[in-house]
Amino acid sequence: MIFVEDKEIVIPGDILADEEYHSGRGTFKENDKVCSSLVGLVALRDKKISVIPLQSKYIPKRGDVVIGEVTDIRFSMWNLDINSPYSGFLPASDVFGKEKRELNRTFDVGDVLFLRVVDVDEVKKVKLGLKGRGLGKFRGGILINITPTKVPRLIGKKGSMINMIKDETHCEVIVGQNGVVWVKGEPSMERVAEKVINMIEEQAHTSGLTDRVRDMLARLLGHEPEEPETEESET
């Protein structure tokens, strides 16, 4: 038997299901009952029940694309803050090959880069790289931090949510899987995008979010929201 619904908010100790269900991430079993071990959202997958934390830091995985800020420059690498308990590093050899150059002339402390996670070793040292389309240094724009687990909600099904924000504000928007979002456009439009992105994070667990985002954009941009032609499946 299940005692909660999918996407319901639970707290530590809440009983979620009985022995018919398997205990997933964020849960534990006690007296044949599956209980929550943290504050988060219920996630049901067949007979497995998990709890996704509402607030969490990014745990790096190979292949992820992330946005990081240079925090330190060493002889052969840049160190970067990637919104994680673990710092990332970009080897100079990934940028220059075998050439010897002054690192701070290419990327300096405070620069913001779009990178890919190349490898994560057993002690969680995160090697980063710049090989890939669109990767490199950002110029201008603003950064917005959201909880990494909310990234899929911000992007939406097939990019529907993030594309709506781009289309309405005419801003460039790039989302790192580490929960850092880069937005560049007219300053007034950057502020609109920031308000909408923050609202999506706050209400990510609720239904009807797509329509509320559409209405909020219309209100902030000073025009009437369009009526959807058909009912949308929730992003």
**pLDDT number for residue 78:** 95
Q: Which residues of the chain have pLDDT under 50?
A: 230-235
Cα torsion angle, 6, 175, 197, 83, sign: positive
CA distance between the termini of the chain? 28
Distance (Å, whole) CA 47 – CA 123: 33
**pLDDT number for residue 230:** 47
Which token pair is 177? 């899987």
**pLDDT number for residue 123:** 75
Tens digit of each residue's pLDDT (9 = 90 or more) over 128-172: 999 989 999 999 999 999 989 899 999 999 999 999 999 999 999
**pLDDT number for residue 25:** 85
